[in-house]
Every structure is written in structure tokens, then in C-alpha cells.
Amino acid sequence: MPTYKLKINGVPNEIEASPDMPLLWALRDNLNMVGTKFGCGIGQCGACTVHVDGNAARSCQLQVSQLDGKEITTIEGLSEDGSHPVQQAWKEVDVPQCGYCQSGQIMTASAFLEKNTDPSREQIRSAMHGNICRCASYNRIENAVVKAAQKKMA
């Protein structure tokens, strides 16, 4: 099998994989980074969201052969210790119920807040619309994004 170079959370990795393997499975199976979750496999639920060059992207839709030279950030690399303002806001609001979708939610929110530092609630709702939370902790997700924005401004 061919080898591919993936730069993840600032660290270069080399993996052996079939060229069409989605980044999601390379992260989870080859690199033991299981924070990025499998939810639907068709880019519809957002559980597998990572950052590619700073933009939120569905890792189930990205093939390892297309990622050479890209800067990939996963939930494990968002901060070293959970101290990113979005992670802290998630903790303070106590967002999760089952928790499965939350790393994807956090990755979507953190990329969004880099582009829009002072969002309205309506903009937050639009930005987070692509991420499903089956436990429906949506009110708290919304409130945590508001709180994270305040933290980033402070």
C-alpha cells in the first residue's frame, strides 16, 4: 500500500493506506486519534469535523491522498489540555449528554469563531446547523458558542 504524509496537530506523520481512505479512518485506526467520530460517513452529521488549513471540514469526505501539505487540526490538537476557549465554554455550560458528537461540534464552533469573532445568535445557529446532536443539547451548544466568543474577546 502507498504511504502518505499527513501533518496533524503540527506533527508530521507517515501512514500506509489505500489512497481513498478517508482522513477519519486514518486518524482513528492508523494514528489512534479517536476523538474524531464516525457518525454517518457521508458528510451529513458533522461528528467527524476537523480543521484543514483552519477551515472546518468533514474528515469522512477527505481522502488521505489529497492532504499532502495541508495543516490538519483535530480535537486532540485544539489545545494541549482542553484549555481552548471553546472547550472551556463547553465545560462551563456542561454541554454534553452522551457526548459523542461534541468533538465535532467543538471543531465546527472553533473554526467559526476564528472567522467571526462577535457572532449574533442567528449566525451561531446557522454555523452550527450542519452538526447533529441526537441528544439535542442544542440550547447548550448555542450558549457555549456565545460564551466562547466572549472568552476569546476578553
Partner 1 sequence: MSSTINTKFSRRSFLRTSSLASGGMLIGFNFFTACKDSVKMPVDIAKLNYNDFNAFIKISNEGMVTIFSPNPEIGQGVKTSMPMLIAEELDVPWENVNVVQGILDTQNYTRQVAGGSQSIRFGWDALRETGATARQMLVNAAAAKWGVDASECSAKQGVITNGKGETLGYGDVVNEAAALENERATERAAKIAALAEGEEMPAETIKLKDPKDFTLIGTDIGNVDIDKIITGKPLFGLDYKAEGMVYATVLRPPAFGQVLESYDATAAKAVPGVIDVITIGEKAKAMMAKEQIDWTAKLASSEKVVVIAENSWAAIKGKEALQAEWSVSTPLESTKAHDKILVDLLDGNEFTTLRKDGDVEKAFKQADRVVERTYESPFLPHNCMEPMNFYANVTDSKIHLVGPVQTPASAASTVANLLGRDEKDIRLEMTRMGGGFGRRLYGDFVYEAAEISDKIRKPVKMFSTREDDMTTGVYRPAIKYRIAASIKNGEVTGYRLKEAAVNGNMYGLIPNFFPAGAIENYQVDVATYNSNITTGAWRAPYTNFLSYAEQSFLDELAEAIDQDPVEMRMNLLEKVKETTDDRIEYSAERLQDVLKLAVEKSGYRNPKDGVFQGVSAYYCHNTHVAEVADVVMEGNQPVVKKITVAVDCGIVVNPLGAMNQIEGGAIDGVGHAMFSDFVFENGMATSNNYDKYRLIRMKETPIVETHFVKNTLSPTGLGEPALPPAAAAVAIAIKKATGNRVYKQPFISNMDAKPILG
**Which residue blocks in the chain are alpha helix, DSSP H?**
23-25, 75-78, 85-93, 102-115, 121-127, 138-153
With contacts defined by CB under 8 A, name the span among 51-59, 68-76, 112-120, 146-154 that binds partner 1. 68-76
Contact between 17 and partner 1 per CB under 8 A:
yes
Length, in residues, of the chain: 154
Shortest separation between residue 113's beta carbon and partner 1, angstroms: 15
Residues 29-58 that bind partner 1 (CB under 8 A): 29-30, 32-42, 44-45, 47
Contact between 136 and partner 1 per CB under 8 A:
yes
Cα dihedral 23/25/30/33 (nearest 10) = 80
Largest Cα span, the chain: 49
How many Cβ atoms are within 10 Å of 151's Cβ, its own excluded? Answer: 15
Binding residues vs partner 1 (CB under 8 A): 1, 17-18, 20-22, 25, 28-30, 32-42, 44-45, 47, 74-76, 78-79, 81-82, 87, 90-91, 94, 96-103, 106, 125-126, 128-142
